[in-house]
Structure 1
Amino acid sequence: MADRFKDRVAFVTGGSRGIGKGIAKHLAVEGAKIAVIDINEEALQEVEAEFKEEGLELYTKVADVSDFSQVEDAMQEAYKRFGSIDILVNNAGVIKDNMLFKMTAEDWDTVMNVHLKGSFNAAKAAQKYMVESKYGRIINISSTSALGNRGQANYATAKAGLQGFTKTLAIELGKFGITANAVAPGFIETEMTKQTAERVGISFEEMIRLSVQNIPVGRSGHPEDIANAVAFFADEKSSFVSGQVIYVAGGPRN
């Protein structure tokens, strides 16, 4: 499968850690050239060293997805380096969890800006290259929280919004050979879910144990589980699958 994405270029936002890194690594191992943007410079340097050690091609740039000019500049640099933008994975995310009566306007705006505006910015920048080449795969990372989750009014709203965004992109861009789909993870062991455990005041191990009780397949998820679903949508052979949301949660939802 090392040539599954040969000659394809994948642009992954928030790709320095967790799910984003897992997706970037998976696509790279299967032959894609990878561009990753993130605001965490230290994590970017670490992932760059890791890719280099494994002989995988990677472009990185510190960029804030909520700033269109930064995203556009990074996209242009990746295009100049690799020659195309074929796959976009809108993964960049942040959590500012709180019950509604405690949630601040800043908590709300930060989450909307990263998840929704960030995905809009990256899709707008990428579609130019995809339309020109008459080929593209846009994959947005949603969440089971889109169905509602206590303490996540902002995050749930943003993740639900991404699903509507996905379906609209599919309608608008389909005639250009571009598909748009979304992957909605359930409980995945990442730095972000560790933050959630801290917020609710339990150990990460206890959070995993409690979560697994409600997951039909009887285990928690890992970044590679999401990467597998993303790779399906990113595949050239998935050209008749567009506007879909797949819940990767070990069951109908967790």
Structure 2
Amino acid sequence: MGRGPVVAGKKDASAKAKAKVFSLHAKLIEIAAAGGADTHLNTALADAISLAKKEGVGADVIDRAIKRGAGIESNGERAEEIIYEGYGPGGVAIIIKTLTNNKNRTAPNIRHIFSAFGGNMADAGSLSKFMFDFGGNIRIEKPEDIDTFEMNILETSAQDYMIGDTHIEIKTDRSAFLKTKQQIETMGYTILSAELGYTPKNYQEITDFDTALKIYSLLEACNEDEDVELVWNNADIQDELWAEVAAFVESKKFRT
């Protein structure tokens, strides 16, 4: 798993998971459209639509979300982004980003997820301001010529980068996120994802199976919640232990 796993709710190919992905993209488009329905003037909306199309979201869903966000058609319920913070099993710090049009539904659901797995919610800002850094994270397809990439990246506003087996993670300062993204696009690299998010300043090491299982279950519960978009945490769990937990959970699932 590595450090600080992120849950995006986009990995399960089931119909339920796909419906959640579509719903999340619709909410993202709705929020972006509040800045105007013209994609030539509203680049945030253009990016949100592009990402939605890559996930297979239909044109009718996109169109309705734009109209709701821009106020062209509104039922009085606009989506908004709300951040929840708390501690999970083993003292792991967790930040949950939600997109919701019903806070009265979302807040109790998130509180239940924390309490169900031995965690508790914290005051807004108590973790995000002191235990995490907020900045840009850009993931690109790993190019064949790494030497050229490493020279090119020095010409951008990127802070740091990490080369993986199939992709490269690029970190940016919050204020330089869009500029860096544009620079990378201009260089011709394939961007797989680009978002602002949280990176832990310190990590909480988890070494026992039971605690790792509770963390896994909490993250899975977040993944299944219709309003949760992303989850950040500072868990440090070895890949072998995480794989053992995942295999255990999978073995307990009922297969039809």
Normalised by the size of structure 1, how large is the TM-score? 0.28
Higher RCO (C-alpha 8 Å, min separation 6)? 2
Bigger share in strand: 2
Q: If you compute each CA radius of gyration, which structure gives the higher value, 1 or 2?
A: 2
Normalised by the size of structure 2, how large is the TM-score? 0.28
